[in-house]
């Protein structure tokens, strides 16, 4: 049994049409499908959606990982059941042949899905980008939880995630954990928070720092403030730019995410001032708003 990659993230928004316009015009995503009040957006590299918008509040509705086939999906379901986790059969999202949903110990909803068509690699001639600088793919989701270590241990023991890096603000205290299912440094990150079931941000990958600068210019043309960045994180080594959508859900645009091909590599432990972890270029702390999710 093996999760392949982060498939999609679905978030809640207060004004669906305003959010749709923002993700299309400011971020460059393209509409792939609609189902009732839900809208599904993609980066344009394939027929699969990367981000879903559903009306009603703010924050995370669910995030989903892909497995190869129904047999592997059933294997995941058995492992969850053995761990005392109740699952629910799901269906109906665009391009999804089969799916199960369950709650993590933190209260976040997670799905494991089988796609209707086995995705292949993306040929550059097949990109359908609506604008020049479009994210290439959804890269990771960062969630907040009271017990970072406990949730990371669950994902490792039950679902086979590997822990890439850990940030300890004090010895033995986990402030952040960064987890992967394959080589991407982190597909899920967990940030310490005062409440469970909170979304911190959804991250999209871009082509490099030139793309990020053009995203920053586009946001300026839309008179939309950047929350933090451009900078470079310590864990993962990736470039970052953070901005909030019209609902207040945080989006990260990033580049240069580290690859970790060694499946047996133990996690790297980061300690010290959080500013040195957040941005190795300036060592400045993020704004106070960065501690709050939705």
Residue 161: what pLDDT? 97
126 — phi, psi (to 5°)?
-100, 0
> To which residue do tokens 């205290």 refer?
173
Extract the tokens encoding 294.
Answer: 């939705």
Residue 119: what pLDDT? 54
> To which residue do tokens 């109740």 refer?
86
Residue 179 pLDDT greater than 70, yes or no: yes
**Contact predicate 253/213, CB 8 Å:** no
- 137: closest CA among 66, 225, 59? 66
Residue 91: what pLDDT? 78
pLDDT digits (tens, 9 = 90+) for 139-170: 999 999 999 999 999 999 999 999 999 999 99
The least confident of 121-125, 188-192, 239-243 is 121-125
Residue 129: what pLDDT? 64
Q: How far apart are CA 212 and CA 257, in angstroms?
A: 14
Residue 51: what pLDDT? 98
Residue 287 pLDDT greater than 90, yes or no: yes
Residue 81 pLDDT greater than 70, yes or no: yes
**Mean pLDDT, rounded, for 168-179:** 96
Which domains does the chain possess? Answer: 5-117 (3.10.180.10), 137-281 (3.10.180.10)
> What DSSP assignment string belongs to the chain?
----EEEEEEEEES-HHHHHHHIIIII--EEEEEETTEEEEE-SSSSS-SEEEEESSSEEEEEEEE-SSHHHHHHHHHHHHHTT---EEE--STTEEEEEEEE-TTS-EEEEEEESS---PPPGGG---SSSS--SEEEEEEEEES-HHHHHHHHHHHH--EEEEEEESBTTB-SEEEEESSSBS-SEEEEE-SSSSEEEEEEEE-S-HHHHHHHHHHHHHTT---SEEEEE-STT--EEEEEE-TTS-EEEEEE---B---TTPPPEEEES-HHHHH-TTT-PPPPGGGG---
pLDDT band at 117 (very low <50, low <70, confident <90, very high): confident
Burial of 89 (0-12, 13-18, 19+ CB in 10 A): exposed
The least confident of 47-51, 140-144, 265-269 is 47-51
**Mean pLDDT, rounded, for 50-62:** 97
pLDDT band at 120 (very low <50, low <70, confident <90, very high): low
Extract the tokens encoding 22.
Answer: 């923002």
**Mean pLDDT, rounded, for 179-190:** 98
Residue 123 pLDDT greater than 80, yes or no: no
Whether the upstream peptide bond of residue 230 has omega within 30° of 0, thus cis, is: yes
Q: Using CA of residue 274, residue 199, residue 7, residue 49, what is the dihedral sign?
A: negative
Q: Using CA of residue 268, residue 271, residue 276, residue 279, what is the dihedral sign?
A: positive
Residue 44 pLDDT greater than 60, yes or no: yes
Q: From residue 123, give the alpha-carbon distance in Å to each of 45, 58, 120.
A: 8, 35, 9
Q: How far apart are CA 29 and CA 23, in angstroms?
A: 6
pLDDT band at 124 (very low <50, low <70, confident <90, very high): low
pTM, two decimals, is: 0.95
Residue 118: what pLDDT? 59
Residue 284: what pLDDT? 94
Residue 131: what pLDDT? 62
pLDDT digits (tens, 9 = 90+) for 188-226: 999 999 999 999 999 999 999 999 999 999 999 999 999
Q: At how many degrees (to 10) do helices 70-82 and 148-159 cross?
A: 130
Q: From residue 125, give the alpha-carbon distance in Å to each of 25, 44, 183, 207.
A: 23, 12, 25, 16
Residue 237 pLDDT greater than 70, yes or no: yes
- 243: closest CA among 38, 63, 22? 22
**Mean pLDDT, rounded, for 90-96:** 89
């Amino acid at each position: 049994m093996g999760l392949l990659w982060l498939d999609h993230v679905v978030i809640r928004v207060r004004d669906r049409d305003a959010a749709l316009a923002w993700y299309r015009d400011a971020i460059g995503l393209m509409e792939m499908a609609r189902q009732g009040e839900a809208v599904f957006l993609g980066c344009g590299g394939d027929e699969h959606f990367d981000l879903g918008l559903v009306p009603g509040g703010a924050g995370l509705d669910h995030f989903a990982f892909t497995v190869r086939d129904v047999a592997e999906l059933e294997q995941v379901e058995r492992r969850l059941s053995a761990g005392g986790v109740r699952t629910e059969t799901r269906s109906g999202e665009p391009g999804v042949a089969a799916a199960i949903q369950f709650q993590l110990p933190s209260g976040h909803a997670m799905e494991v899905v089988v796609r209707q068509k086995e995705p292949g690699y993306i040929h550059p001639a097949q990109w359908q980008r609506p604008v020049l600088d479009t994210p290439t793919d959804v890269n990771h989701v960062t969630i907040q939880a009271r017990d970072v270590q406990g949730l990371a241990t669950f994902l490792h023991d039950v679902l086979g995630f590997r822990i890439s890096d850990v940030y300890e603000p004090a010895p033995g205290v986990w402030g952040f954990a960064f987890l992967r299912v394959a080589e991407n440094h982190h597909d899920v990150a967990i940030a310490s928070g005062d409440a469970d079931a909170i979304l911190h941000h959804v991250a999209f990958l871009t082509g490099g720092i030139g793309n990020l600068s053009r995203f920053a210019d586009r946001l300026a043309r839309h008179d939309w403030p950047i929350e933090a960045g451009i900078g470079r994180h310590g864990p993962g080594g990736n470039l970052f730019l953070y901005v909030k959508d019209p609902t207040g859900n945080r989006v990260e645009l990033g580049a240069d995410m580290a690859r970790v091909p060694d499946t047996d590599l133990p996690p790297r432990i980061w300690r010290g001032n959080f500013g040195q972890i957040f941005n190795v270029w300036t060592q400045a702390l993020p704004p106070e708003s960065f501690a709050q999710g939705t």
